[in-house]
Structure 1
Amino acid sequence: MALGIALTVPEMAMAGEAPALAPVALVSGAAHAEYVGTVSRGFDMIRAGKPEKAVKLFDSVISASEQGLAGDARPRLCLSDNGGHAAPSNAIMVSSAVCDAHFGKGYALVDLGRGDLAENELRRATELAPDNAHYANEYAELFKSRRQFQKSYDLFAHAWAIVDKNTKGSDAGIAGRALRGMGFNLIELGRLGEAKQMFEQSLLYDPGNSGAKSELDFIAQRQAIGA
C-alpha cells in the first residue's frame, strides 16, 4: 500500500519516542499541531522499517483524542485541514491527525503481517473521514490482497464517487488509482468490457501509467481468444 501522506515533523521532536499527549475535548490549534507532529513521526518510523514504534506513536494520538472525549457518545468526524467546515449537529469534530493516526496504524499493522487488526484501523479512518478518497483506496487494497474482489471493487467505486474528477487537479493520481482498482477487480470478476473502460478512463488522469497499459494489453489478448 502506498503512503501518500506528507506531514511536517516538529524540529524539537525526537524520532521514535511517543510523547505524553494532553487529551483535549475540543480541538485546539496547539493540540492539532502536536497530533500532526506525532503522526508525522509515526510515518517516519514506517519509512525507517520500524512499524512497531509507528504503532505506539499512532496509538498515543488515538488514545489522547479518545480520552479527551470520554463520555461523549456523539459520532466523530475529522476536521479538515482546509477549515471552514462546521460539524453536523449530531457529530463532534476531531483533529484530522486522528484520522491519519488510524490510517497509519493500519498501514503499520499490514507491515507487521496483522491484516486482521489493520482492517479495523483502515475502516475507522474511512468512517471518520467519509469524504477521503485516499483512505478508501487504501482500504480497498486490503480486500484486493485477500481476493475479495467485489468488496474491493465497491470501496474503489466509493473512492471514485467522492474524489475530485479534475484530470489536472491535485487528486488526479487518487482518481486514476481508484479507476485502476475498479478495473483490476472487474477483470477478476470476469467483466472484461467494463474493466477496459476503467483502465482507459484512468489514463486520462495518469497518462503514463504502465500498469494500466499492461492491463489493457491483457484484456485485449483475452478478448481476442474469446476468454
Structure 2
Amino acid sequence: MNARIASSVLVSLLLAGTAHANPSDSPRLVATAFQSPVRVTDTRFDAAGHVQQGYTLLRQGKQAQAVKLFDKVIADADQRLAGDLRPRLCREGGSAAGSVEVEAALCEAHFGKGYALIDLGRGDLAEAELRAAAQMAPGNAHFANEYAELFKSRRDWQSSYDLFARAWAVVDKSTTGKDTRIAARALRGMGFTKAAMGQYDDAEKLYDQSLQYDPKSEIAKAELGNIARRKAIGS
C-alpha cells in the first residue's frame, strides 16, 4: 500500500467534514517536486497502511485510537532516522538538497494526529504536530490552512493570517484547477483575520477574490455582509 492510498483516505475524511473545518471546504493534498533527493524507505513497516487505518478510526469518532496508530508511524521514522539532524521533507518525486526525504505517510501521520488532538480538545499538543506536517511539506497548502485554523481559534489573528497567506502563496491559483476550494479557503481565512483586525477594505477584497474560486460560498457572502454592516456603523 503506497502513500497515494493514504492521501486519498485523507481526502475522504476531510470531505466528510469535522468540527473544526468549514463544511464548504474540500481540501486536497499538494505534491511539490524538489531536486537531489535523499530517500529513506523501509518495506518492513507499512506506514501508509497505518495512516489509512488511522483516518478510518477518525471517521468513526475514535480519535484516541487513531492517535496511537499515527504515533507508531512517527516513532518508526524517529527510530530509523535517529541521529540524523537533516530536515525531513515529505515529497513525491524528490526533496531539497541537504534534507532527508521520508514517505508522505509521515507527514500525514503528524497531520492526522494534530487533527485528532484538536477533536480531543488538546490544541496545545496539536500545534506541534500541525507545525511538523507544515514544515515537512511546505508546498502543501491544505496543511498550512489547517495550521492557520488553530491560531484563528486562539484569536491570534496575525499568526493565523500569515499561515493562510502561506497557503495562498503555494496553492495552484487557477480558477478552474483542481485546488480551487483550497485557494478559496486560504483567501477566506485571510479575509476573516483581516476583518478581525479591523482592516475591512482588505478583508472585502480577499472575500471578493475568494468568490472567484468558490462562487457559491455562503460563508464568503455572509462575511461580506457582516463587513458592510460593521463599516456602516463604524465598528
- TM-score category of the 2 structures, normalised to the smaller one: 0.7 to 0.9
Would you say 1:153 and 2:161 are equivalent positions? yes
Q: TM-score, normalised by structure 2?
A: 0.82
Among 3, 7, 10, the alignment partner of 2:9 is 7
Q: Does the aligned pair in 1 maintain the 2:70–2:113 contact within 8 Å? A: yes
Residue 228 of structure 2 is aligned to residue 220 of structure 1? yes
The higher radius of gyration belongs to 1
Aligned residue for 1:6, secondary structure, equals: helix
The residue type equivalent to 2:63 in the other structure is P
Structure 2 unaligned blocks of 5 or more = 1-6, 11-38
1:35–1:97 CA contact under 8 A, matched in 2: yes
The equivalent of 2:22 in structure 1 is none
Cα RMSD between the aligned structures?
1.6
Of 188, 199, 204 in structure 1, the residue corresponding to residue 212 of structure 2 is: 204
Pairing of 1:75-90 with structure 2 (within 5 A): 75-80=87-92, 83=93, 85=94, 87-90=95-98
Specify the alignment match of 2:85 in structure 1. Answer: 73
The one of the two structures with greater contact order (alpha-carbon pairs below 8 A, sep at least 6) is 2
Distance 2:207 2:97 in 1: 40
CA 1:101–1:38: 2 relative to 1, 3 Å: same
Segments of structure 1 that go 5 or more residues without pairing to the other structure are 9-24
Cross-structure match for 1:12:
none
> Is the CA contact 1:58–1:102 (under 8 Å) kept in the aligned structure 2?
yes
- Match 2:190 to one of 182, 199, 203: 182
Alpha carbons 1:153, 1:185 under 8 Å: kept: yes
The answer on 1:167 being equivalent to 2:156 is: no
Match of 1:196, as an amino acid? E
Give the paired residue count: 201
Identity %: 55
- Quick one: which of 121, 124, 130 aligns to 1:116? 124
Distance apart, 1:71 and its partner CA? 1.8
Q: Residue 46 in 1 paired to residue 54 in 2?
A: no
Q: Which amino acid in the other structure matches residue 125 of structure 2?
A: L
